[in-house]
Structure formats: C-alpha cells, structure tokens
Amino acid sequence: MKRTRRNCVLLLSAGIVLLAWGIACRYPREGLLNAVFPTLTAQPNPVCPGESVTVEWDLRLPEGQAWCKCLNGSLRPEPIGCVSTTDCPRGEICLDNYCCNVEYCGEECGNPGQVCEADFEAELVIDESSTPIGEETGSVVITPEDDTIVRVRGRAIAGEADIEMEEASVLIHVLDIAERTEILIFFPWICPTTTWDGIVLDTREFVEIAGVRNPGPYRVRVSVKKIDYNGPPVDLTVGGSTDAFNGVFDGEWGIEVLDPVIVPDTDCVSDVTGSDRLADLGLEVTVECSSG
C-alpha cells in the first residue's frame, strides 16, 4: 500500500501550480506604481519521475515615462516651453518649442510625454544553477528528478535608476512513486453570485487520481467529464470523499454548493478580499504515479 503524504500544492483555475510566490519592488520614480512585474509558472506540477515540466517567465513591463532617462528632454518632471534657446536654462537648446538637454537626453528631446521601454537584467535559477535571461518572455523544459525550486531574479533599469525586484519562485514537486499526495484544486467564486467557476485539468501521462474529498465549508455537488468518466454528478458532504473519479488526471470539473449561501455586499469592481468576498471552493484530490 502506498503511503499518503499531505502536500499543499495549489492548482489554480487554469491548472497552473504556483508555490512560494514572492514579488516585491521599490519604486524610486513616479509612475512605476502600475507596472507589471515578472511572473513565473511551471506546468505540469506536481509530476512523477520522468515527466517533463515547462517553465515560463514573463518580464514584460508597460511603456511609460518612468523608464525614460529623461523626462521631457531633461531631468525635470515638466517641460519648459520656449521660442528660442535664450528661453532655456544654460546647457539646453530650444527644440520643437521645448527646452532640451540634447547631449544628455538624445532622442528623448523635443518630445513631451515621451514614453520608453524598460530594460532589464535577469537570470533563471534552477536549484543552484543560474542562466542569464535575454528575452522578456520565454520558456525552458526540464525533467526534475527531485523537488526543484525555480527562481527568476534581476532588476529593471529606469533611466539611470535600477529597480531591484525580489525573486519570483515556483516549487516543482516530484511525487514519490511509493506515496500518494494530496493536492488542492480551486474553483473561483463568480462575484456577486452564489456560483463558482469550473476548471479544466490538463491531461497527465503518469499522474492518476486516487480519491477526491470535500474539505468544506459547504455540501457540494461535483460534476466531472474526463476520458474515463462521463457519469452523473457526485454529492459530497463536508469531509465526505469519493472514488468515483479515480483514474486519469484530466477533464472538465464543476462544483455546485448545496447549502444556503449569503453573498457579501460588494461592487465586484475593486479588489475583492477578506470579508468582502466568498472564498474560492477547493477539493482535495489524492494523486499517485501510475504503475505502468
């Protein structure tokens, strides 16, 4: 009999596993508050020994004035209008009716409202081995033998200012062929209703389902359509479990709450957190590596 190990691996709505996520940064210049900072994913996850994992990164940042070494042709935040160079501070010329430090700002002169692309220096770290990243978006395929942590770290360059970003990281969990592991799959709440969105699990070659349990907090009805199951929905009490979905790890999964639900008062527009939202619903799925 296989041992069962509890592992809080989180499968998000698209089947993406994201663990140990940490992204933060310092904002030395105005305008960076709305920037999008690096993301990192690893799919599939968890995996059995011998399975390949695709690691993808996205370092793209939106264009903006914050990334320009000059703002409006100089270091000042607002442009100075001019008719001739005599109207400009020493060392600047009048270009397109705006004062500009051509020697310092170059192509950014004469263009009030100039936006620039961010530059970056980053590296992908797999366990202790690092590789420079030359593209904003990209992917690599790895075949981990054991649990593996993948990281992206680096800095964005805003003009002459560097913005160091804390690393984004993903833990790739490699299942032990002698163990069963419990993972959580989540169904996102559809604000402001009493329904939760369905999810699709990507087909896995070596991972199999060995049980499904409802951790609560409501009684639920679970419907599944997958390669080896096209049967009726299964009702689960809080803490209840079923082996009806055992077998292939894949399919379209849906969930319906059977208990009364009170929807919080929310506009569903601003960030919905804490007591202003209903929690996403989870199912605990026991997985194992196939024997053949």
Nearest CA to 180 out of 52, 16, 1 is that of 1
Beta-ladder partners of 42? 17, 55
As a whole-number percent, the residues of the chain with pLDDT over 70 amount to: 77
- Output the domain CATH number for residue 31: 2.60.40.730
Structural domain count, the chain: 3
pTM for this model (two decimals): 0.65
Q: Do 41 and 86 fall into the same domain? A: no
Q: Do 152 and 42 fall into the same domain? A: yes
Q: Do 256 and 133 fall into the same domain? A: no
Instruction: Please check the confidence at residue 238 and state whether its pLDDT lies above 70.
Output: yes
Please list the alpha-helical segments (H only) found in the chain.
102-105
Picking from 132, 148, 172, the residue at the C-terminal end of a domain is 172
Instruction: Please check the confidence at residue 40 and state whether its pLDDT lies above 60.
Output: yes
Pairing state between β 207-213 and 247-248: antiparallel
Q: Do 91 and 151 fall into the same domain? A: no
**Is 146 a member of any domain?**
yes
Q: Do 191 and 223 fall into the same domain? A: yes
Picking from 172, 187, 208, the residue at the C-terminal end of a domain is 172
Question: Residue 250 gets which letter from DSSP?
Answer: -
Give the separation between CA 163 and CA 168, rounded to whole angstroms: 15
Q: Do 22 and 159 fall into the same domain? A: yes
> What's the pLDDT tens digit per position in 186-203?
999 999 999 999 999 988
Q: Can you give the pLDDT at residue 32?
A: 43
- Confidence band, pLDDT 50/70/90 cuts, at residue 25: very low
**Weakest-pLDDT range from 96-105, 187-196, 203-212:** 96-105
Instruction: Please check the confidence at residue 29 and state whether its pLDDT lies above 90.
Output: no
As a whole-number percent, the residues of the chain with pLDDT over 90 amount to: 45
Instruction: Please check the confidence at residue 107 and state whether its pLDDT lies above 70.
Output: no
Give the separation between CA 14 and CA 249, rounded to whole angstroms: 14
Beta-ladder partners of 141? 54
**Is 46 a member of any domain?**
yes
How far lies 261's CA from each of 192, 197, 258, in Å? 11, 15, 9
**Weakest-pLDDT range from 162-176, 179-193, 242-256:** 162-176
**Is 259 a member of any domain?**
yes
Going edge to edge, which strands form the sheet with 220-225?
199-201, 251-257, 220-225, 234-236
Q: Which domain holds residue 85?
A: 69-108
State which amino acid sits at residue 59.
L
Picking from 128, 154, 172, the residue at the C-terminal end of a domain is 172
